[in-house]
Amino acid sequence: MVVPFEPDSDHLAAWKPESWKQRTAHQQPNYQDQQKLTDAVDIIARMPPLVFAGECRNLQTRLAKCATGEAFLMQGGDCAESFAQFSANNIRDSFRVQLQMALVAMFGGGVPVVKVGRMAGQFAKPRSADTETFDGTELPSYRGDIINGPAFTSEARVPDPMRLVQAYNQAAATLNLLRGFATGGYAGLQRMMEWNLDFMGRSDEGRAYLDLARRVNEAIQFMVACGLDSRTPIMTETEYYVSHECLLLDYEQALTREDSTTGLWYDCSGHMLWCGERTRQLDGAHVEFMRGIANPIGVKVSDKMDPGQLVSLVATLNPENTPGRLTIIVRMGAEKVRANLPRLVEAVRDSGQVVTWVCDPMHGNTECVNNYKTRRYERIRAEVEAFFDVHEELGTVPGGIHLEMTGDNVTECLGGGSSIDEADLNSRYHTHCDPRLNAEQALEMSFYVASRLAQRKDRLAAGAKPTAILK
């Protein structure tokens, strides 16, 4: 059984699920009614877990392969899940485009793809300021539907603890549907021609996907003719995991349960949790909480991260140096990756630490155009390109990609094959937080990733060897 550490590990001696309360917790809401918060947390603590410890261990095994280049992580979904936009169709479309992206990367890149959604828990958003001002009126910042409402009114912006319970219920419903999609036949490879979203049939990316799907289908038919059982789970089911930022510590603690099999504590709000750029303080509450849970975890780092601090942070979060335990999600901006990523990768590599390196090309490339927060596809791709280039130059492993994206036909990010320009932004700008790649743009990105994975595979076959994992 693969676990990140043992229950009697030295680093757990002073750790409890509530020990984070002894540290400074950043980015927490200012609840006006503490008794109401206590009541909401008590309700959640009595609820069943959303995910199970065994599923988390399976994901850790898959992520360990991403660290060595034997697999590739594709993690994506909404910037922040919405109560108002919650529907089965939205969940289905997001799941479907991730299936498409995984198929492209697997077939084109020649490696298994680990599929992780920013779903069933990605409700809260860190903010750079506690308040925001519009037309001379200052109100508390919108921090995600799990905390307050997006409407710019004093009533909507009051943090409401009962939103925690609503978020739990929506996460449970989302996971129920995702599990049905993943194991009920919808994700079967023989249905891949049916995965194409209607509005993508007229796009270059949609046509490219259909062409690839036909080729995969021909390969499957050949394998069936050779004796492959088309009813085997590998043909009819898929593994799908969920993740979110570990931000609201009251919510996360309420869903942290002791696993009867291993004696370890798992945060059962999601399979994978990550610590954000604003909450990764080595002596902070979020790192204190995350160092003790046994889930696969991640930490987001920008160009501001010092290499020595990163080595210390990795040692704190992954004390046993277990493959698959820790993912470093890099978010720097297209221009800064080439200058700043090498020193971080080299520091971690030279320390002998085992991590999975993942590129988040979204958060460092945000700008404002015509009063809309947006991102340019070309800059997003440039950051992914730089990420692959740096690892190629160092002989290390690009382990995955982390995207804010949707299966909807939105116009939130500029450029790409869908040719969204500045005049299009107000057409279908549906996000109430950060701009997301639409389905065409996300699929276009997957084709690029597949090409880089194929190039890497060819180089390794020609004799080059990765040096990312040192033990």
Binding residues for phosphoenolpyruvate: 118, 277-278, 300, 331
Range of 205-214, 330-339, 371-380, 412-421 with top mean pLDDT: 330-339
**Which whole number is the average pLDDT over 151-170?**
97
Is the pLDDT assigned to residue 390 strictly greater than 90?
yes
Whether residue 348 contacts residue 314, with contact meaning beta carbons closer than 8 Å, is answered with: yes
Is the pLDDT assigned to residue 467 strictly greater than 60?
no
**Which whole number is the average pLDDT over 352-376?**
89
Let me know if residue 212 belongs to a domain.
no
Domains of the chain: total: 1
Binding residues: 79, 118, 277-278, 300, 331, 363, 404, 434
Identify residue 389 by its one-letter amino acid code: D
Let me know if residue 281 belongs to a domain.
yes
Is the pLDDT assigned to residue 420 strictly greater than 60?
yes
Give the tens place of pLDDT for each residue, 233-244: 776 789 999 999
Edge-to-edge order in the sheet of strand 372-376: 366-369, 372-376, 413-414
Whether residue 263 contacts residue 296, with contact meaning beta carbons closer than 8 Å, is answered with: no
Whether residue 131 contacts residue 86, with contact meaning beta carbons closer than 8 Å, is answered with: no
Let me know if residue 198 belongs to a domain.
no
Let me know if residue 59 belongs to a domain.
yes
Tell me what pLDDT residue 319 has: 97
Q: Phi and psi (nearest 5°) for 373?
A: -75, 125
Domain that holds residue 391: 10-129+240-461
Is the pLDDT assigned to residue 427 strictly greater than 70?
yes
Q: In percent, how much of the chain has pLDDT > 70?
A: 94
Binding residues for Mn(2+): 79, 363, 404, 434
Tell me what pLDDT residue 469 has: 44
Let me know if residue 368 belongs to a domain.
yes
Let me know if residue 226 belongs to a domain.
no
- Domain of 274, CATH number, reads 3.20.20.70
Which residues on neighbouring strands pair with residue 376, listed in sequence order?
414
Identify residue 35 by its one-letter amino acid code: Q
- Work out the angle at residue 276's Cα, subtended by the Cα atoms of residues 375 and 40, and round it to the nearest 5 degrees: 110
Give the tens place of pLDDT for each residue, 295-305: 999 999 999 99
Let me know if residue 98 belongs to a domain.
yes
Tell me what pLDDT residue 329 has: 98
Q: In percent, how much of the chain has pLDDT > 90?
A: 70
**Which whole number is the average pLDDT over 359-386?**
89
Give me Rg for the CA atoms of the chain. Answer: 22
Let me know if residue 419 belongs to a domain.
yes
Tell me what pLDDT residue 201 has: 59
Identify residue 215 by its one-letter amino acid code: R
Which segment of 118-122, 240-244, 268-272, 374-378 scores lowest on mean pLDDT?
374-378
Identify residue 412 by its one-letter amino acid code: E
Tell me what pLDDT residue 471 has: 34
* Residues 6+ positions from 351 with CB-CB distance below 8 Å: 311, 314, 315
DSSP collapsed to 3 states, the chain:
CCCCCCCCCHHHCCCCCCHHHHCCCCCCCCCCCHHHHHHHHHHHHHCCCCCCHHHHHHHHHHHHHHHHCCCEEEEEECCCCCCCCCCHHHHHHHHHHHHHHHHHHHHHHCCCEEEEEECCCCCCCCCCCCEEEECCEEEECCCCCCCCCCCCCCCCCCCCCHHHHHHHHHHHHHHHHHHHHHHCCCCCHHHHHHHCCHHHCCCHHHHHHHHHHHHHHHHHHHHHHCCCCCCCHHHHCCCCEEEEECCCHHHHHHCEEECCCCCCEEECCCCEEEECCCCCCCCCHHHHHHCCCCCCEEEEECCCCCHHHHHHHHHHHCCCCCCCCEEEEECCCCCCHHHHHHHHHHHHHHCCCCCEEEECCCHHHEEEECCEEEEEHHHHHHHHHHHHHHHHHHCCCCCEEEEEECCCCCCCEEECCCCECHHHCCCCCCCCCCCCECHHHHHHHHHHHHHHHHHHHHHHHCCCCCCCCCC
